[in-house]
Structure 1
Amino acid sequence: LESDEVFQWHVSGGLEQGFYNALSIGCRSFAFFVRNQRSWTSPPMSEEVAERFRETAKKLKFPMDQIVVHGSYLLNCGSSDMEILGRARTSMIDECKRCEQLGIIYYNVHPGSTAGKCTREECLKTVAETLDYVMERTQYITILIETMAGQGNTVGGKFEEIQQIIEMVKNKKRVGVCLDTCHIFAAGYDIRSEEVYHETITKFDNTIGLQYLRAFHINDSLGKFYCHSS
């Protein structure tokens, strides 16, 4: 790609294979999971695997800030159930440490859900505390909060909720946002024309701040506008 815009794809295969898969379709950026995204535990990552990944990035001159690791789908960073929350925090720390082992800068996570057992405000506060907890136990990883579709009890479907989380996080230098186009469209933020897209981005800037926007997850939507379904 000759433009300055960076588009990102999810890729499959061995960790270092992600670079070649991305380049084969003209990509300068990609996202992947560092372990099984539907399991609470995975074997430790060997240093041999991590070194191959780092060496491949170096050989191909692939910037680490163009790679995003997606957190497990099992995580609920805002759960009021201490067992579920404990599992989520332990898994996040494990995944973030794997990112740092690979030399990756950005780790993207869905903020979580009330599960109908706490208020949205309580959930947002717990999410912020979870991010603080993980940051205190890792070295440098930046955690990206993904914009959500506003489905059911999930939080993060409104820009204001993400702003609240960031406001409560202690180390704001290590927090950012991944804007998912399908999710924001489903949540009621229109992007179907250049004009309304700019209006939505202006809302994002006025509410959260563009300085926190670190990545886009560009998806189309099967659902209709404001459907709250991803």
Structure 2
Amino acid sequence: MGDLWLLLLLPLSLAAFHGVKACLECDPKFKEDIRSLTAKLVPSEVPGRTHLLERQIKEMIHLSFKVSHGDKMLRVLAVHKAVKLRIWLKNELYKLGNETWKGAFILQGKLLDVRQNLELKLKEILKNFSEVVVTEGPILDCWTCLRITTQCFRGEYCGEEDSRMAENREIGLFLILLTEVVILGSAWLLFHICVSHWRKMKAIRRSLKKYLEKKLEELIGMTDKEKDDSGIRK
């Protein structure tokens, strides 16, 4: 029963996630922060500044994707741990921003050190969390950016060797989403048919009304003409 509720609540978690400060590139605010902080590291007069920044920002933002997608057991992470990791990275960039500019080559070396430390920390945190059976608070699926509130994941997430339950859960989720799409599509189609039918009936009533008014005018005209003819004969 708990698994069923989890599947039913998963589609709703997409909306809930928008306010979460969590798993690196899953959070749009994180991307904005990294771009802003990294841009402050390079003076505006440095040649090739735009290319340098874009490359460093891209490597920094997509680092967690490389780590979490390298192993399916490193897929989920507690939200509060992701927040701490994000704060750590911001502090490291703040420190670099307060240092004296010594050239692009030196900066790239320091950013490389930051990324390597971030990768090690992220791997360690994800690995430790993958060994946890019972959790407290919401967790984040770094593959889909879904925020999920549950105390335990069965199958792969709880360390069980049998992966069929996890696969069945994913299939069930897909079927639920497919059912929702079909229901919404059917409702929209029915609404469209009803509106079209109402418009057609309205047009028919308008045409019928005009036809009856025209016939009534003709009958009245014929009656008046007959009266005039009768008066002339008399």
Q: TM-score, normalising length from structure 1?
A: 0.20
Answer 1 or 2: which has greater helix percent.
2
Which structure is larger by alpha-carbon Rg, 1 or 2? 2
Higher relative contact order (CA 8 A, sep 6+): 2
Q: TM-score, normalising length from structure 2?
A: 0.20
